[in-house]
Structures are given as C-alpha cells and as structure tokens.
Structure 1
Amino acid sequence: MPSPDEASTSSSPAPPATFKSLGLIDPLLEAVEQLNYKTPTEIQTETLPHALEGRDIIGVAATGSGKTAAFALPILQKLWEEPKGLFACVLAPTRELAYQIAQQFESLGSAMGARCAVIVGGMDMPTQSIALAKRPHVVVATPGRLMDHLEKTKGFNLRSIKFLVLDEADRLLDMDFGPSIDKILKLIPKERTTYLFSATMTTKVAKLQRASLSNPVRVEVSTKYQTVSTLLQYYLLMPLKDKDAYLVYLANTLAQNSIIIFTRTVNDASRLSIILRTLGFPAVPLHGQLSQSQRLGALGKFKSGGRKVLVATDVASRGLDIPSVDVVINFDIPTHSKDYIHRVGRTARAGRAGKSITLVTQYDVELVQRIEQVTGKKMELWPTDDQEIALLKERVNEAGRVAIAELREQAQSGNKGRKRRRDGGGGRDDQDRDDDVVEAGMPTKRKRSKGGW
C-alpha cells in the first residue's frame, strides 16, 4: 500500500509539455526559442510525439492553432537525421498560404540550412523549374501548378520524397483540386509518411484520408466550431441601397484601427477599395484575380501597417498569419457559418481582443440567425449616427461612380491586352489556371440589384 506521500505524488497533475519534453533535437529547440515560441500549442503537444515516432497523422484543428509547426518540426527533425535531396512535399490551397508555410520551414530549419521552393500559379514556370533543379529539401505547392511541373519539367519528380503534407485539406477539396491530388498520389512513393490537416472533417476529406494515409493517429483539438471569448461580435442593420455608406461610416469611426473588410465577390473587393481610397482611406484589395506580386504586395503593406484597410474575398479568411487585426467587417455575410468563423478568426488571435461587425440588409436576417445558432452567441447592435450617415451618402455615391468608371477602364485595357497576346502569342500561360480557382464558387461579376450594388 503506498504511503500518503507516494499517493499524493502519483495523483499530482503532469507538468505542462515543453518542446524539449516532446522530443525535439537541439537545433530545433534553438529555432523555436529564436522565434519566441514559448510553449507548444495544443495541436503541437498532441501531434509531435506521434509524428516523431513516424506515424501518419490526421489533424483536425482550426486556423491559427499552430499546425504549420506541428507538421514542419517532425519533418525537419527527420531531415536532420537523413539530409538528402527532395525530402517533403506540402500541398496548400492558396498561393499566400504556400509562401507562409515555406517561410516557417525556412525559419525553423535555418540552423540545418533547410531549403524550400514555392511552386504556385501566377509565377514564371522557367524560374520555378530552375528552383526545382537546385534540389530543395521541401516543395510547397498548390496542386494544379505542381502537376504542371510533374508533367512538363524535365528531371523533376517526387519519387524520392519521404513526407507528404495536405494542409487545409477541406479547402483543397472545396476548390476542386481533387483530380490533381489523385494524380499526385499516384506519382509519389507508397512508402512515405503522410500528414493531413483540416479544419473540418467532411465526407470528401474522409475519403482522401482513406486513400492517402496508412493507419493514422487522429488528433482533434477543437471538435466544435466556435469563436474565441475575446471576440466582440456586432451587427449593423441597414437597407441594401445604403450599404456602401454604412461601410464608409464604419471605416471613418474606426479610422485608427487595422481593418479587414470581407466581400463575397472580386468585383466588390476592387470596387470598395477604390471607393475607400477615393474618400481618403488607405485601403488595398486582396483577391484571386490579382497577380502574385500584387497579392504579396497588398499583404505586405497591410502587415507592416502601411495600409490600415484590407478589402478581401475569402482568399484571406483562412491560413494567413496576419498578426494584428483590430476589426473584421463582413460587408457580405458568408452563406456558410464556418466561413464566418474563419473570417472573424483573423482578429482576437493569441488571447488579444478584437471586434467583428457584420452588415445586415433586409435580405440577410436568416443568415445571421443561422450564424448565431452555430456559434451559440448573440451579436450586439453596433451604435450608429443616422445624421452622419445621411451626410455621407452623396460623397459615397460619387465615389461609387468613380469606382465603376475605373473598373470599366481596367476591364477594357485588360481585354485589349488579352487580344494583343492572342494575336502575337505568348503572355499569361495556361498553367496560371491552377489556383485562380481560389475564388471557386464566387462569381466575379455581380448584377446590380434594385437598391444598389
């Protein structure tokens, strides 16, 4: 029979996990310390022991949970033990997320000289072929462009990789990358370690799991969709025809804050950023029809604080690490509640406070009620000054006319450019199609409705 002292010792809670206790080697411990990772997140604590044992992993975790390090660290640890050639391939749904993952691999693997190549659409194929010829350790890619290189780039293959990562798997499949992923799975070794991470377990993801993973350990750190407690959620009720004026009123009221405004369509993201700029707000658009350099430039300006307002489609709602966002405004309410949760998850991160404000017209009430039901939280009414909004309307309408004229001009010059390329050959190649479906399901044009846009 144990003594009282022994009994109390055996029942005391286990000490919190550290990166060292999870089994990381010294070069990686130094890297996490330099990056100021104090303690492992829940997904890292649950994943790393199994991953370091060499098991396949299926991780169900929301965006912002630290999952990139959860799969990067075990891959880099194995690379330290066997430093040879192309070692791992990571598939991501969007260009921005691919760049972000590569950046984290290079930061964590700096001591061991880990090299990454980012292979995404919108960039020059020959330049990417040269990067692949230099035999990087890790290729981070969108599936469509990776498939293009596997089919067309001489000497490039994935026959020697040890690891395959499918990040944001639910979104990869939502964006119709399924056929490309099926082809890639046939061209890589059966003997490999596979990590699949997804925010939701859809039927498609479950099917992909069965096809690509072998006896995986399932790690789930958030079973229920929810918003964080530090997020204050508001709604603003208005007639559809006055929506632009209410948005400008909010931008004016919140002028000192960093703001992401989410729209449903590319057209509205472009239109609203022009309206805001015309009225003196430092706004930049982010959507899938911009070139890669424009997208990275917009993100860079917003992250550095050079621009306070980012007007984006759902390309920015998941996966992107934008550390400091004070307010998220839903100009359009997303049709799926999970998309709302991903959008508002851009703020109130890492224990900080944040606000989300959703614009609600007479046609959106049911969607708001559905979101409240899923999150289990009621939104509060955001206070407004009707007189101030009435004074804004004329200026906003004028800025709206400027925006429409500017977009029309851009469309015409774009058509001329496309015609020149058709006549003279060359120009944007067909490989650029890969993740332009980042706006899959989102119409790029929106018909003018009775009361306004």
Structure 2
Amino acid sequence: MALFPVPRYMGEDEKEGTVRSVMTLKELHTIAKERAKSITGREAGTIIKKEVREMDVDDNKKTKGKKRMKKLEPDTESSEQLKPKKRKHDVKASEETMEHDEACNDDGGDDETEENDEEDNPLPMVTHSERYRPSTQLTYHHLPDWVTQSHHIESDIAEYSQSLEDFALNPIITDNLHKMSVTSLFPVQCVVLPELLSSSHGPLLSTVSGAPPSDMCICAPTGCGKTLSYVVPIVSSLLNRITRELKALVVVPSKDLALQVYNVFVSVSKGTRVRIGAVGSQNTSFSVEQKQLISHHGPAVDVLVATPGRLVRHLQETPFLSLASLRYLVIDEADRIFEQSYHNWLNTVMDSIRETHSSGHCPLSSSCIPRMYPELWKPSFSKSLLKHKGMHTDSQLSSSINDLIYPAAAPLQKLLFSATLSLDPEQLHLLQLYRPKLFTATPALQEDLGQSILPSTLKEYSISCSSDYKPLVLLHLILTFDHHRILCFTHSRESTHRLTLLLKEYDAPVAEISGDLSQEKKNELIKKLTGKEIKALVCSDGMARGMDIPGIDCVINYDVPSHFRSYLHRVGRTARAGAEGAAYTLNTFEEVHKWQRMIREAGRKQIENVSITEDDLKQYVIKYSDALESVANSITCKRK
C-alpha cells in the first residue's frame, strides 16, 4: 500500500511566470494509454475521450477544440503552443495562484525524464478559466528509499530492554538516571541513543566520518520512552561545551507536555553545567521568560523547551535570542504540531535557522567579547595568544577569539518524534531533511506510520449500550471494576464538566481536569489520583497527548474517538513502560458500526465485548432523573 502522494517537483530553474500545471499533448496521451490498458471495450474509449476533453486547452474556441479532439491520435508528437491574449485579470489571477499550483500539483513522475520531455516539447500556456475547470486528476504514489529502508524498533519492552550499564554514559548522567529509577533502557532508547551519540564527536558535533549527521524520524508506541531517547544524548553532547549558546530547541504542542519535558531535562542534567529553559510551559509572563532566556552576559540557556506560539513571539520580540548555534531541533508529537498552524511557527523557525546558518559563522565585535566572554580576554590568555599567532592589534585578537568561539556553524540535526507519525511530504519539504533515517515499530509500507502501534501489555474492551443509560454504565465501571487509577475521555470540555457533575451526584470519587486549571491545581489532582484519594479523572482529548501520569491502570473512552489516531493517544496513557493496562470504549447502539469500521480499517483484531445488563444498572436508575435535573440546575445557575 502506498504511503502518501508526493507532489511533482518542477525544479527551481523553471522560467519565471510559467504555469506549473501545464502538460503537453504527448504526455496526456501517454497517461491516457496507460489508463486504457486496464480497461477494455467501450469503457476504455469513454475514459480516454473524457480525459482529453477535460484537459485540452482551447482558449474559449469551442468549435476548434471539438474538431481537434476528434482528430487527435495517440502518436501525436507535437502541438502548436497556444498564445492567449494577456488580460489584466488573467495575469493577476495567475500570479495569485502560483503558490497554490506548486502545492497541489501531484504528478510523481521521474524528475530526469520530465526534464528531457520539457526540452523536447514546449509547454502550452493555460488561461485562468482553464485552471479551475473541473478535471480528472491522476495521483501517483511511491515510497522514498529512506522509508522503505527503515530501521525496525522492537515493541516488546520486557524482552528487548538493555541494562543502563551497557551504555558508556557519563557517570553524572548515569547517576541521575538511577535517581529517576531508570535502570534499563527500552528498545526505542537502545536504538536511537547510540545513533545520536555517534553524531556528537568533535567541535562541530558531526559524525565520526566528518559528514553532517542524518536527520531522524522516530515512530514508536506511546509510553516507550521516546523523551529520554533524545534528552540523554542532547545533555551528553553539551557536557563539555565551552560557551553558553542555545544548542537544542524542543518544540511540543501543549503547556503540560512542555513542563513534563522540561522536568525530564532538569533531572537528567542535574549536577552539570547544562542549563535548561522553558517558555509557554507555565503561567509565566512574557517579560519574565525573556529575562530567563537572556542575561547581561548573553544567552542564559543551552536547551529550550517551547510551545510553538510562544516560541514565535520570542523569536520576533526577544533581543539577542538567536538560533545561530542551534545543533538540535526536536519536534515532539510531530503529527499534532503539523496538523495545526500555530502562527506558522515552522516557517518562522526554519527562516531564522537559514538566515543564521547560511553565513557559516557568527562574528562578534571586539566590544562585546569582553562583556560576554571575560575569561577569554584575560591578560595571560591574550599575551600567549598574541605570541603564538604573531598578532599585534586588538582587532586581530578579536578575530582570533571569534574563530575559537565559533569555528563554523554547527550542522543542525532535526529529530521528529510521535506515536502516529504521518509523513506529510509538504511539511517534510519545509523541514528540508538531510539524509533522513526512519526508525519505526510498524512496517514501512503502512499508509499511516504508527496507525496500529499499541503496547503489547494493553487489553482492549468494547461495551455497547443505549445512549440514555451510557452515564450509568460509566458509573458502574468506576465503582465496581477492579481499577484504581482511571482516566475517562470525552470529546469536549463541556461534556467533561456535565459528566463530572453527574457522577458526583452519586458520590463517585472522581474529579475534572482540563487546560483551564492552573498547574498547581492539576498537580494536586494528579497527586490525589496516584494517592488513591480519588479513583478517576474526567478529561477531554487535550490530556491525551504525551502526558505521563504515573500508575494509570485503566482508560475509558466515554465518547468514541473521531478517528483511530485519537484512540491510540487516549489509550496510550495506560500500559506505559511495560506495565499492564486496560482500555474500555463505550459506544451506543447507533455508534457500533462506526466503531467497528474504525477498528477494522486500523487493522486491529476483534476487540473483546463486555456485557453489562439492566440488572447491573438497577441500583443507579432509581435516582437517575433527580441527578440529571440537579446537573441541569447547577449549569443554569453557573451561567447566570
């Protein structure tokens, strides 16, 4: 099965103003004949004529166009280029749609062959009216070599984990990992960590061979330790840094995940000179964050964890914040970040990186070196340097120190992480991945990488019920099933609030958690859940991404997720790090078909059905009407 359609790349040296969606008649007939091979009789002739009719350029000359279509033969080798009259609205429309054509043209043919064809056959022009005329678009699929030759990651944590002592890590980092109760590395860490460590040799942090390191895409199950797989090598590579510059940028989609990743970095780097910063992770003012990022001596952090929107604002408004020395660009939960624009953050970051890296190095003036790097301006250092280099002026000394600090722009390595990594060609083109490597626990031929990745220790169940008594089924699960730390997911914050109020009418040990709460309140609720003061937290899909709440042994999908990717991230909150977990999905009788189709299309095996009878719910039905009325009154009073 094909992975994704790849838009046809026309090349940068194409003549300015040429419309990219144009095809020669010869190419048209070649496509028509290929399509006709698999179709016989009248159907083949109909399709060929239809494609010719829809894609033929007639420049509003209907009679001439019909005659030409009738006379058209498959072996036609050339055609006269049409030259429509230039009209102002046509020229303007053509300019406005150039970018649209570049993104939407999805011809996946061989580049070299297309270049030869373009040289032999001049392309006819297409008018504005022809551009938007309905047509049959032919889509081609193929898999890049780096996808078909992916590196496999084992999903069985218990069998393929390795001892921490098997890896030659710095003793400080090893000790910090032990304090975090990490004694062995999971399969994804065993594969990714050595790969990243091997690219951190020498002053330029390049590979042992001297070549720039390859970019990496990692697609692995939820709860398998993807965060540590990039935190450990990044901190390791910065242990011996000379000057403090922003070397690693980690972009995550939410405040909660940003805080979680920040805490992991802080724990691993404890006792080292590596400084960690975070923006957008807490309710901190923008001015306070600026002071944390930049000090009077220069950059104040080596690693920055940021949410996309906050990052863009800092790049635009924080003085002296530069990506000139950036070594690592990590995009965690990449599929979710790519699905949302977030103030066009990716373009902003990549433009900033290109501007600073294109110069090759980052010059410093002689006036700012003493302020930022006073240790390099000491008399003993400068005299020895002057004597060794034979220099006699301050400008020569400044230039030499600058070369020592920034010998050249370090090669940037991009790292993409997600449990459901969809390789969108448009986004990957913007990232400009260099010799990328794919590490995945799923077959490379799967249309959506990560689509069927779930922990092997997870048990899945399905419960069908009527919509009227669905809240009572959930109540029965929470009160009677042998699970002690439960996450219950709904499709919206409003549903979360209503459901929580209804469950509390039955004195159920539950609480509501959402993005509206302060971080202190969230931590308090999580502490109550892990301490078994409450049994369940009700939340929406916002909590389903990347959050690691310790000890969750059950996930309940009160509302059926809209697609399987959401299901995967929801149930991924349990059965983490090799622990066992259970997932229940409640679907009404009207949703059964949708649910079964979703599971079938995802390639999952039949999920076990759990039956809950009317007798099980009798004890809750007695006060059900009064509870619903009480919830309605509470919501009405709150709105007033």
Which of 98, 104, 109 matches 2:258?
Answer: 98
Task: Describe the SS at the equivalent of 1:112.
Answer: coil
Measure, in 1, the Cα distance between the counterparts of 2:265 and 2:189: 15
Counterpart for residue 271 of structure 2: 111
Q: 193-202 or 216-225, which moves further after superposition?
A: 216-225
Question: Do structure 1's residue 167 and structure 2's residue 332 form an aligned pair?
Answer: yes
Counterpart for residue 269 of structure 1: 496
Measure, in 1, the Cα distance between the counterparts of 2:165 and 2:514: 40
Counterpart for residue 172 of structure 2: 27
Question: Do structure 1's residue 405 and structure 2's residue 625 form an aligned pair?
Answer: no
How far has the Cα of 1:400 moved from its partner?
3.2
Q: Percent identity?
A: 28
- Per-residue CA deviations over 1:182-226 (Å, capped at 9, x if unaligned) read 212212354422211122332437733662432233222344514
Counterpart for residue 285 of structure 1: 512
Note the 1:51-450 alignment, pairs <5 A. 51-54=196-199, 55=213, 56-82=215-241, 84-120=244-280, 123=283, 124-133=285-294, 135-177=300-342, 179-188=344-353, 189-190=356-357, 191-204=411-424, 207-208=427-428, 211-223=431-443, 225-254=452-481, 257-373=484-600, 374-412=602-640
How far has the Cα of 1:156 moved from its partner?
3.3
How far has the Cα of 1:377 moved from its partner?
2.4
How far has the Cα of 1:347 moved from its partner?
1.8
Measure, in 2, the Cα distance between the counterparts of 1:319 and 1:284: 20
- Per-residue CA deviations over 1:235-262 (Å, capped at 9, x if unaligned) read 2221112212222222221376211111
Q: TM-score, normalised by structure 1?
A: 0.80
Measure, in 2, the Cα distance between the counterparts of 1:221 and 1:256: 29
Q: 32-41 or 91-100, which moves further after superposition?
A: 32-41
Measure, in 1, the Cα distance between the counterparts of 2:228 and 2:264: 7
Task: Describe the SS at the equivalent of 2:271.
Answer: helix
Higher relative contact order (CA 8 A, sep 6+): 1
How far has the Cα of 1:178 moved from its partner?
7.2
Do the aligned residues in 2 keep the contact of 1:50 with 1:217 (CA within 8 Å)? Answer: no
Do the aligned residues in 2 keep the contact of 1:264 with 1:332 (CA within 8 Å)? Answer: yes
Q: 1:25 to 1:221 in 2, by over 3 A?
A: farther
AA at the equivalent of 2:311: L
Higher-Rg structure is 2
Measure, in 1, the Cα distance between the counterparts of 2:161 and 2:222: 23
Task: Describe the SS at the equivalent of 1:158.
Answer: coil
How far has the Cα of 1:99 moved from its partner?
0.8
Counterpart for residue 446 of structure 1: none
Question: Do structure 1's residue 38 and structure 2's residue 183 form an aligned pair?
Answer: yes
Q: 261-270 or 248-257, which moves further after superposition?
A: 248-257
Measure, in 2, the Cα distance between the counterparts of 1:281 and 1:366: 31
How far has the Cα of 1:359 moved from its partner?
0.9
Task: Describe the SS at the equivalent of 2:184.
Answer: coil
Counterpart for residue 48 of structure 1: 193
Q: Between Structure 1 and Structure 2, how many residues are aligned?
A: 398
AA at the equivalent of 1:46: V
Q: 63-72 or 150-159, which moves further after superposition?
A: 150-159
Measure, in 1, the Cα distance between the counterparts of 2:524 and 2:490: 19
Measure, in 1, the Cα distance between the counterparts of 2:502 and 2:328: 46
Counterpart for residue 59 of structure 2: none
Task: List alignment gaps of at least 5 residues for structure 2.
Answer: 1-159, 200-212, 358-410, 444-449
AA at the equivalent of 2:436: P
Counterpart for residue 447 of structure 1: none
How far has the Cα of 1:362 moved from its partner?
1.9
Do the aligned residues in 1 keep the contact of 2:221 with 2:455 (CA within 8 Å)? Answer: no
Task: Describe the SS at the equivalent of 1:260.
Answer: strand
Q: 203-212 or 333-342, which moves further after superposition?
A: 203-212
Do the aligned residues in 1 keep the contact of 2:312 with 2:343 (CA within 8 Å)? Answer: no
Q: 1:29 to 1:255 in 2, by over 3 A?
A: closer
How far has the Cα of 1:287 moved from its partner?
2.8
Q: TM-score, normalised by structure 2?
A: 0.58
Give the superposed CA RMSD: 2.6
Task: Describe the SS at the equivalent of 1:301.
Answer: helix
- Per-residue CA deviations over 1:391-435 (Å, capped at 9, x if unaligned) read 3134344333333333344445xxxxxxxxxxxxxxxxxxxxxxx
Q: 318-327 or 103-112, which moves further after superposition?
A: 318-327
Task: Describe the SS at the equivalent of 1:338.
Answer: helix
AA at the equivalent of 1:215: R
Do the aligned residues in 1 keep the contact of 2:256 with 2:281 (CA within 8 Å)? Answer: no
Q: 1:209 to 1:79 in 2, by over 3 A?
A: farther
Q: 257-266 or 131-140, which moves further after superposition?
A: 131-140
Q: 1:341 to 1:186 in 2, by over 3 A?
A: same
How far has the Cα of 1:94 moved from its partner?
1.3
Measure, in 2, the Cα distance between the counterparts of 1:209 and 1:301: 45
- Per-residue CA deviations over 1:327-376 (Å, capped at 9, x if unaligned) read 21110011211221221222222333222211110221123212432252
Do the aligned residues in 1 keep the contact of 2:224 with 2:577 (CA within 8 Å)? Answer: no
- Per-residue CA deviations over 1:114-152 (Å, capped at 9, x if unaligned) read 332221177232332232235122211110111122223
